[in-house]
Amino acid sequence: MPKPVSKSNGQIPTSLASPGAVRFWLAICLIGVSTGLAAAALTLLLQVIQRAAWHESGTNILESARQASALRHIVVLVAAGILVGLGQVLLKQLSSGNGIDTTEAIWFHAGRMPVLRTLGSALLSIFAVGMGASMGREGAPKQAGAVFANLCADAETLSDEQRRLLVACGAGAGMAAAYGVPLGGALFAIEVMRGKLALRFVLPALFASLIATGVSWLALPDAPTYVIPSFTLSASVILWVIVVAPIFAFGAILYVRLVRWADQHKPRGWQRFIAPAVALGLAGVVSVWFPEILGNGKDLSQLLFTDQVGLRLGLALLFLKPLATITCIRSGVPGGLFTPSLTFGALLGAALGHAWSAFWPGTPIGFFALLGAGAVLAATTQGPVSSVVLLMELTGRDRSFILPLILVAGISTLISRSIEHRSIYDARLSDEQIALRQKLRDEEPNQIGVPQ
């Protein structure tokens, strides 16, 4: 039986004087602290696993993989697949029922998620990414934040509406703490996870992400994820954005549909154990020649933003890197999709930039890669505002690229949203669920800034 709800009538407290405000804001603080600690612990664990798997022969997983033997590539990736397979079988035995995606939980289960299964999947993803799987590392802290939010909602006996927001805030706080992006994480929580930029959602998301990021900085470095030069805006860049934005949109649509296909065809039964080892083993073989496909793509994106990837290699990776990610999803390897999507956009932007430079030279290819990353990220998440802010926080820069980034993110999102209603974060939802979610979203009261 559910516990009785607090006296707030289920609404989101918009001030400290609102009914039930103390319980609600205490839950926000607890979510921020617990998610920040979890994100720091998971990130440090990822680094330990990476060093153990690749012997830290370089400064990052890409450099280490470049110096590793072919045998190590294959052994490490096969071992990662076996570990994932065993972990999934164990989680299936220990936890009854199926896992619930965070987006699905927010919209159709009032934010309720199976604790053990979700945290176990998060831990598995850290091992998989640290050993080289082509998935994002933000998936684990995002899941952890969502679970802690769910637990806090239970402890404070909050309403379903409050729980939905808290779970979205927890997921955004996990993103914020993992990458050191408090504002971007908050916007991600309300724009992408909660699906509505309502004012009553802003402060809870901001405080949860701010606290989580501040706590994580006690153990993690406070520095931009990507170090880029200061790019110079030109007429060439603006015209390029207008011309190629539809290409980014259709690339994002294809990517989302491939993610959906891969998720719908995940292995079942005994194949849960075999498929990850086979898929990651194949990735290990390919990585002998193309080590850039390993990991979440952060190191590859850094090279693209600083124009250190040649045209031939970039074209090969434009096919191989997304293929590695889709193969991981298809085989059941858990992980995030944020950085892999960003990297796909950077590869596509660099390729289109090379083509443009043949006719209108002068713009650094890294500039095109950065704008491509923002365009595809915005279109695949269907969160243009959060994507723009995330790129600003991830790079620590804004003035040199803000205008073309907003333009390309807006155009690509508008086109992709007109054709494909799903983002990478709701690819698991059926057509009926997508329609129901839109209906629920339209029926929600505005409650914009009105004290309750």
Domains held by the chain: number: 2
Is 244 domain-assigned? yes
For residues 105 and 283, which has the higher predicted lDDT (pLDDT)? 283
Q: Indicate whether 186 and 78 sit together in one domain.
A: yes
- Whether 189 and 300 map to the same domain: the answer is no
Please, what is the average pLDDT of the chain?
90
Shortest CA distance to 178 belongs to which of 123, 137, 124, 231? 137
Q: Is the pLDDT of residue 266 over 80?
A: yes
CA 248 – CA 368 distance, rounded (Å): 12
Residue 117 lies inside a defined structural domain of this protein: yes
3-state class percentages of the chain: helix first, strand second, coil last, to nearest 5: 70, 0, 30
Q: Which residues are within 8 A (CB) of 167 and not within 5 positions of it... i.e. 6 or more apart? A: 102, 105, 106, 111, 113, 146, 149, 150, 153, 193
Q: For position 115, which CATH number holds? A: 1.10.3080.10
- Check whether residue 43 and residue 158 sit in a common domain: yes
Alpha-carbon span 16 to 23, nearest angstrom: 10
Structural domain containing residue 65: 21-216
- What pTM does this model have? 0.93
pLDDT digits (tens, 9 = 90+) for 2-26: 444 444 457 888 778 888 888 999 9
Q: Provide the pLDDT for residue 449.
A: 38
pLDDT of residue 445: 60
Residue 448 lies in a domain: no
Contact predicate 251/350, CB 8 Å: no
Mark whether 171 and 304 lie in a shared domain.
Answer: no
What pLDDT, in 10s, does the model give residues 190-240? 999 998 888 889 999 999 999 999 999 998 888 899 999 989 999 999 999
Q: Are residues 160 and 293 in the same domain?
A: no
Residues 258 and 130 in one domain: no
370 in a structural domain: yes
Look at residues 155, 186, 216 and tell me which one is the last residue of a structural domain. 216
Residues 267 and 138 in one domain: no
Q: Kindly state whether residues 118 and 256 are assigned to the same domain.
A: no
